[in-house]
Amino acid sequence: MKYFIGNWKMFGVPNSINILNKINSYYSKDKNRSKYRVIITPPYTLIESYAKHFKNKKISIGSQNCYQKDYFSSNTAAISPYMIKKVGARYTLIGHSDNRSEGDTNEMLKAKVQFALKNNLRVVFCIGENKTEKRNKKTLSALKRQISKVLEKKFRISNIIVAYEPIWSIGTGKIPTKIELENTTMHIKKVLKNIFKGKSPPVLYGGSVDGNNVEIFREIREIDGFLIGGASKSSKKFIDIIKNYYR
């Protein structure tokens, strides 16, 4: 099973659902639809209405983050995994580089993963090296550290997806070479198998994915799907990624 996950970031108002209606219409009729899943993570403000609209349809709705406490608390503006689940989200991103840069520590990320799984949310755990780590050939060690500091063998592997997003690639149009991606995704799965007793959750790629370069990723067996940023805000661009992947 492949995954096409759209991260809308700070984008979207109620009538932006028309973008998803077009994606859902294509998805429902696509002859390859049994081979993949589509998940969209809109802002918190849209989760409930979108989740209700797509409850019995093909698209699943997730959140872009969650707070590191469960149920309710006195933390102003915080939104817990429990609250996200109650409004219809089925997935949540955790560990995106945007949130790491704003102060998310490994301890915070571990708590987020723990409480998200407790509430039966599927976690899309984001990892990625920055430009300095890449330049200093520290990519593999950085990724291993990010994974091993947060994920534990006691976590339910069936509810975990890992998304590799090199920070230097996001929004730049630059992507790793085929050989780099093959080596990196194999390394990520090796680290995950060491944690989860020989098994690995799906590993996705994110970072400047578009309809023109997605065919390159198709050749890399270890990649189980994509976390898509800017292109997910356009139904045409998002559909083109799926079309070209299965062409």
Catalytic status, residue 187:
no
Question: Over 22-82, what HEC string results?
Answer: HHHHHHHHCCCHHHEEEEEECCHHHHHHHHHHCCCCCCEEEECCCCCCCCCCCCCCCCCHH
d(CA 127, CA 157): 17
Asked if 61 and 49 count as a contact pair (C-beta separation under 8 A), the reply is no
Q: Which of 48, 96, 107, 133 is catalytic?
A: 96
In 3D, which of 231, 129, 229 has the Cα closest to residue 183? 129
Asked if 17 and 61 count as a contact pair (C-beta separation under 8 A), the reply is no
In 3D, which of 43, 39, 48, 33 has the Cα closest to residue 20? 39
Asked if 152 and 158 count as a contact pair (C-beta separation under 8 A), the reply is no
d(CA 42, CA 61): 8
Catalytic status, residue 165:
yes
Q: What kind and span of H or E run contains 226?
A: strand 225-228
Q: Which residues contact 136 (CB under 8 A, 6 or more apart)?
A: none
Q: Which of 102, 133, 152, 165 is catalytic?
A: 165
State the Cα angle at 6 between 151 and 190, rounded to 5°.
30
State the Cα angle at 135 between 134 and 136, rounded to 5°.
90
Report the catalytic residues: 96, 165
